Each structure stands twice: as structure tokens, then as C-alpha cells.
Chain A
């Protein structure tokens, strides 16, 4: 029966239908729902791993054990997992192994817009690129067949517009292949130099065999067009933009597998058109390869390598018509995302700003601590970089650095890759102060469990990593726990730990205000008699607080009664609270 599915949901369906038995991933927009949806199938084991490298290695282990497996991540997660990726290419697989990676052109929720297709070429692995949900399902199933036929891991490359668009799919039944037997094979699985030297030629031969396969594969198809003045090579969501803009006007070579590329098919297609154009998002990948084949081709001189493309952009650059929209001459104020009312991160950032500290930040909701009026973060690079960066900053900086610099990192990010930085701090003895913002959930990506929450992906209770013990165990003697809602206490503890002459960790612990089990006291009332309109309460950037007629006003639909603003009011105007 036809149904609407997100691209990510369709990948999960493909995993189910293909008899995948093991899924291990780390959440990251726009890839997260693949694993969340996979977890809904009881026949599948699915888990959140501490990070993408662990997830990929676990998936390889499952493959070696003889079961079809999967790991999913966002584009930057593939950097974390790049180490196993390049060598898994050499070992190949036992049962099929799929690696899902979702790019974020336009950086809707990312720190860069790297193009993951380069990894396919660099690691010498095949990469399939679906353009809608039906293809996401079909390509996932096909990828397992390729994986086992060619003895290779296969990359499934998604992007925001394919991952987060619902389109029509027709789900099928699950077929569970028999478990393959694991057989010892040192020459294939022990990648020490003598063995790896023999595997490398196999990898090159495999790429050639896959290229041969790609020449006749149905997923690389030529769609005839009426007008051969342009011939367009495209893939992924760009295929949809091309078809939207031009229908069947121009011939199109739609690539479903973008590595390795069907070189003869591309040459043959080029020979039938007057001008060859590549429409692809981000970097010149298909275009660069066409050039390496000696073909005359246009691409990036027409289409930007920055941000997303669209049907209008494609139409405009290739001489189509674009209907202008309705234009309103008005300055529209931006509506940036903000920390939620009651967010336990807010008060910590207020204190850090008040103390005029240098704050090395990390990846998560708390990156919003960089935004006005809090503006309390100095850097955001990648997962874990706050803790490891702090070590270098303190070690190499002048003496005062240690006393005025902290790292802030969330609970999930700390486990992902912050703890290794903390080990470096302990081992190499920098006088660093790390603040773990423990909101007991992976927040930014939409509330995923992690090793510190005590629950697994399926929501069942499981082993809970104790952060205090972990920090002690790696060699940090000073570990303090504070409630971020108590700003005086936070300030005192941060001061003490900055003054201490050894490394310390401060755990700022309070669960995310949006978690269902969190009970709130209810909205705060403004005593307009006492309010002097000093706007001190406005300095925390709470979306529930505004000024009206010179007095503070609280939006009772947003306010949860965290009481942080109350601590800022010298006039006791925010003392009242009531339950709606």
C-alpha cells in the first residue's frame, strides 16, 4: 500500500526489508530518524553508540559475525568514523554492511557543509545517492546485494532535502538472509602491512568491477529529452530540481551511484548532446570526473558550490523562465532559534558572561549560548573540541589563561569525544576547568538517549555511566556538581575551581526542560507595583520575558517557572508564582 515516508524513514524500511539485523549510530541532523525509525522494528537490533567511530566498528563486527548491518551518521560524523572507513574498504565484509551519511548543504543544523562524496572516492567505496524516499528504500536494499556481491561496505548518501522530505513509497516484506558463517581469514581481516599490501590491489580491482556494473545498472539511467542542446548529468535532490524546471525538455543522465561512475555511459551520453552540463550541490565532483575523462563540461561556473540549489536556480542558469514572487517592501526582523524557556543552560552562560571568562564551546543546544544577549561562547569547532582545545589554550597561554578560561560541553558530547580530551588534561596536567552541561539527554537532535541517561535507544533501562566516577577515574580529583538554576552557587563554584591549582570538572546538572518527566512549578507572575522596568531580567535572553509599557511581562504559555529571572530582580518583582 502506498504511503508517505521521510527519506530517512524509507532507509529504515529498506534496512528492515533487506533483513538487516544490527544498527549502530550516533544521532546527527539530518540523519537521526534513520536509526530512530529502524528501532521501531522489533526484528532489528538498534542502538545509539557513543560516537560514529564506535558505531561503524560495531557494524563491521556484526557484518563479520554474518548478519547484515548498518551505521548512520551526519556528514561530520563520517570524519569521526573515517579511520575505520578507510581500512574497512580493504577488509571488505562478510554479511552486507551499509554506511548511511547525510549531508547538510545550506547548513540548516551543522557547523560546515562538507561534501561527503569525496569520501567514496578517497576510501574507494561505492556510494549510492537516492533522490527521494522510494529510491531511499530501493537503494538501501540494492546496496546490501552490492555489498555482498562485491565484498565491500556501501555508502548511502542522503542530504537534508531527501532525508527530511516525505514522498510516496510502497513498502514490501522483510526477507531475512541466513546468517553467514564467520570463518577465520587473517589475510583478509588482519590489516598489517604484509596483508594490506595484498588487499590494496583487490580494492582497485573491486572499484573496476563496480564501474563495469555501473555501466549497465538501472540506477544510472538516461532519460531522453526533446532538445539535445543541453544534456544534464545530475543526482540526488538536484535531479528533482532539474526535472521540476525542465520536465523532459533536455536529456538527463541520472546517476543513482555516484562512485564509481559509469565512464563509458557518461561518454556515450555526452556524444548525443550539444553541451554537457552537470547539476550538483556543493563541490564539483561529477563535473571534475567528467573533466578527467577529457569531456567538455559546464557545472560550477553556473551553479554555486555554496549552499543549496533549487528549481528556480536551475531554471535561471539554463535559460528557463522564473516567475517572480510577491515582493513586500518591509524589513522583517530575523527569528533566530533561542534556548527554550526554562533551559538549564541559560543561567550557566549568564554566570560565565558575568565573570567575563573565555569560553571554549562545543556542539549541542548550548551553542546557542553564543547568541545575544548571552553571547558567552568564544569558539565552536566540532564534537569534543572544547575540552581538548582548553588544554592547549591553558598550556600554551599566559599564566592568567587558566584562571579565566573554561570549556563547556554537553553530557552526550562529553561521552562522544570530550572524555579523551579530559584524559589529556589529567595526563599532561593542565590547570583546566571543564564544565559538563549535563541535561541528561542528547537535546539538539531531538532527545536521544546516551550512555549517561540510564536508558537505551528502545527506551529500556540500562547501564548508566556515572560522570563523577568517570572523571575521577581518568585522574581528575576535583569534581563538583552544581544546580544551574542556583546562580549564586554556580558562580561561587566556578570561581573556586578556576582558582584551584589543579584541573577540575564542574558538572552542571539539571534535565532538559522539555523532557516529559520534568515537573515545573508553573509560570512566574510579575508584580507590576514592584517592577521598575530596569530590564535586568532581559539579560538572560528568555523567550518568555518581554517589556510592555515599561514593565516586565511574562508569557505564561512559555514560562515554566525556573526562577532564574527572579534571581536577577533586585526589587522582588518576580517573586510570585502560581499554578495555572
Chain B
């Protein structure tokens, strides 16, 4: 099988690492060779963060290069636009339509681009947008955005809902399990 590539991008602190960790584990369980690559340190302080998930018969490079991503899962709209050139022609972007202003925009030194969703669609990209923040709040916490998005991402894989829920159960603290499962469910059925 040809190697498949998903980039998970977002803003430091949004919980992008959990999504790549769960996905990596599930794929390994199916017998694929898997690589998951992340960058720690400076990028966690509210900066732009990117994680690569790659799987197939034999995966060499830990990173995804420009023009190679089958899918970008973006936790924030601007970040989807930032990494568009990593997408294969005809690729898919799953995006949380939430906008988080970066510091240059907050400080008035730059503008947040308008109508990004439409502009991405106009490039022939298969854009699957959802308001993950509202769904997370509905589940009980704005912090559950990552689980909502994982629920949406799960639709594009052939793992059962139980497999995902099981993986979540092994990764999140019991205290927040019900809320996280609900958030996943909302993303799945949205």
C-alpha cells in the first residue's frame, strides 16, 4: 500500500498531540508501519503547531513534505490556510471554523484573511468545515475541541466507533472521560 499522510495542525495548547497519538496507535494495531512526528518546545507557547501522521507498508521519512498530504486536519481556520501547500491536489481539509487571532492580528499589525473557507474550496480542495468549538462547549468544555475533531476525522477511517472510544478511554483521565466521549460523539455525528 502506498503511504498515507495526514497533517494535524493548530495552535499550541489546543490538544493536537492527542489526536495524532490515538490515530498512530489505531493504525499500528491494524499492522501498518507508522510514523508520527511532532515538534516540541517553542511552538507550544500559543504558536503554530504541526504534527505528521504517516502509515503504510513501509514508512521512511517522519515528515510530510509539500504536495504530499492526503488530508489536513486543522484545529483552526488560519492554520489550515498556512499549510495548504502541503496538500496533494484533490486532497481534503477537515477544519474547525473557529478563528483564533495570532498576536500580529491582535496587535493590529496584520489582518486575519477573510473568507478563507471559500478560498480553499475555490482551489478544488474538499473542505469539510465544522464549528468544533460550539460542539465542544455543548459537550461540556471548550477544551474538548480536539475530541470533536477526532470524531469528525474518524468518519474517514474504517475503525469502529468502539475502537476509537476504547483508544480515548486509555488516553484521557477518567474524570473527563464522559465529557470527551460526548465531544467525540458530537464530532462523529455532526
| Docked-complex contact B28 and A4, CB < 8 angstroms | yes
| Docked-complex contact B11 and A328, CB < 8 angstroms | no
| Docked-complex contact A330 and B113, CB < 8 angstroms | yes
| Docked-complex contact A326 and B123, CB < 8 angstroms | yes
| Docked-complex contact A326 and B125, CB < 8 angstroms | yes
Residues of A within 8 A of B123 (CB): 326-328
- Known A-B contacts A30-B41, A541-B107; the reply to A336 vs B88 at CB < 8 A is no
Q: Which of B77-85, B146-154, B160-168 contacts A (4 or more CB under 8 A)?
A: B77-85
| Docked-complex contact B104 and A165, CB < 8 angstroms | no
Which residue of the partner chain B has the closest CB to A368? B45
Which residue of the partner chain A has the closest CB to B116? A330
CA separation between A307 and B171, bound complex, in Å?
Answer: 34
Q: Which of B63, B86, B103, B108 has the most CB of A within 10 A?
A: B103
- B172 at the A interface (CB under 8 A): no
| 1/0 contact string of B33-61 vs chain A (CB within 8 Å) | 11111111111111110000000000111
Residues of A within 8 A of B112 (CB): 333
- Known A-B contacts A109-B40, A334-B102, A372-B107; the reply to A323 vs B35 at CB < 8 A is no
- Known A-B contacts A2-B28, A164-B37; the reply to A335 vs B103 at CB < 8 A is yes
CA separation between A337 and B48, bound complex, in Å?
Answer: 7
| 1/0 contact string of A162-196 vs chain B (CB within 8 Å) | 10111110000000000000000000000000000
| Docked-complex contact A538 and B40, CB < 8 angstroms | no
Residues of B within 8 A of A161 (CB): 37, 62-63
- B91 at the A interface (CB under 8 A): yes
CA separation between A164 and B109, bound complex, in Å?
Answer: 33
CA separation between A189 and B85, bound complex, in Å?
Answer: 57
Q: Tell me the minimal C-beta distance from B151 to chain A in angstroms.
A: 20
| Docked-complex contact A333 and B104, CB < 8 angstroms | yes
Residues of B within 8 A of A323 (CB): 67-68, 88-89
- Known A-B contacts A4-B25, A240-B60, A243-B60; the reply to A338 vs B41 at CB < 8 A is no
- Known A-B contacts A166-B36, A168-B33, A328-B81; the reply to A29 vs B41 at CB < 8 A is yes
Q: Specify which of A244, A446, A541 is in contact with B40 (CB 8 Å cutoff).
A: A446
Residues of B within 8 A of A545 (CB): 106
| Docked-complex contact A333 and B105, CB < 8 angstroms | yes
Residues of B within 8 A of A543 (CB): 46, 103, 106
- B138 at the A interface (CB under 8 A): no
Q: Tell me the minimal C-beta distance from B133 to chain A in angstroms.
A: 9
- B139 at the A interface (CB under 8 A): no
Chain B contacts with A in 89-124, Cβ cutoff 8 A: 89, 91, 101-113, 116, 119-120, 123-124
Which residue of the partner chain A has the closest CB to B90? A326
CA separation between A547 and B108, bound complex, in Å?
Answer: 9
Chain A: number of interface residues, binned into ranges? 35 or more
CA separation between A536 and B33, bound complex, in Å?
Answer: 53
| Docked-complex contact A338 and B60, CB < 8 angstroms | no
- B132 at the A interface (CB under 8 A): no
Q: Tell me the minimal C-beta distance from A207 to chain B in angstroms.
A: 32
CA separation between A164 and B63, bound complex, in Å?
Answer: 11
- B66 at the A interface (CB under 8 A): yes
CA separation between A44 and B180, bound complex, in Å?
Answer: 35
| Docked-complex contact A445 and B78, CB < 8 angstroms | no
| Docked-complex contact B106 and A337, CB < 8 angstroms | no
- A48 at the B interface (CB under 8 A): no
| Docked-complex contact A165 and B36, CB < 8 angstroms | yes
Chain A contacts with B in 525-571, Cβ cutoff 8 A: 538, 541, 543, 545-547, 557
Chain A contacts with B in 321-358, Cβ cutoff 8 A: 322-328, 330-340
Residues of A within 8 A of B142 (CB): 557
Chain A contacts with B in 43-82, Cβ cutoff 8 A: none
- A373 at the B interface (CB under 8 A): yes
Q: Tell me the minimal C-beta distance from A47 to chain B in angstroms.
A: 21
Which residue of the partner chain A has the closest CB to B41? A109
- Known A-B contacts A325-B85, A336-B47; the reply to A311 vs B65 at CB < 8 A is yes
| Docked-complex contact A445 and B41, CB < 8 angstroms | yes
Q: Which of A333, A334, A538 has the most CB of B within 10 A?
A: A333
Q: A2-B28, A326-B67, A547-B106 are in contact. List 20 more A-B contacts (CB 8 A).
A: A30-B41, A33-B40, A161-B62, A166-B37, A167-B62, A168-B28, A240-B61, A243-B60, A325-B67, A325-B84, A326-B84, A326-B124, A330-B116, A333-B78, A335-B46, A335-B82, A336-B103, A336-B104, A340-B45, A372-B107
- Pairs across A and B, CB under 8 Å, 10 listed: A30-B41, A132-B35, A161-B37, A241-B60, A322-B67, A325-B66, A332-B113, A336-B104, A337-B43, A546-B101
Residues of A within 8 A of B (CB): 2-4, 29-30, 32-33, 108-109, 132, 160-162, 164-168, 237, 240-241, 243-244, 310-312, 322-328, 330-340, 365, 368, 371-373, 444-446, 538, 541, 543, 545-547, 557
The 8 closest A-B pairs by CB, nearest first: A109-B41, A337-B45, A165-B62, A337-B47, A29-B41, A325-B85, A335-B102, A333-B110
Residues of B within 8 A of A (CB): 11-12, 21, 24-25, 28, 33-48, 59-63, 65-69, 78-79, 81-82, 84-89, 91, 101-113, 116, 119-120, 123-125, 142-143
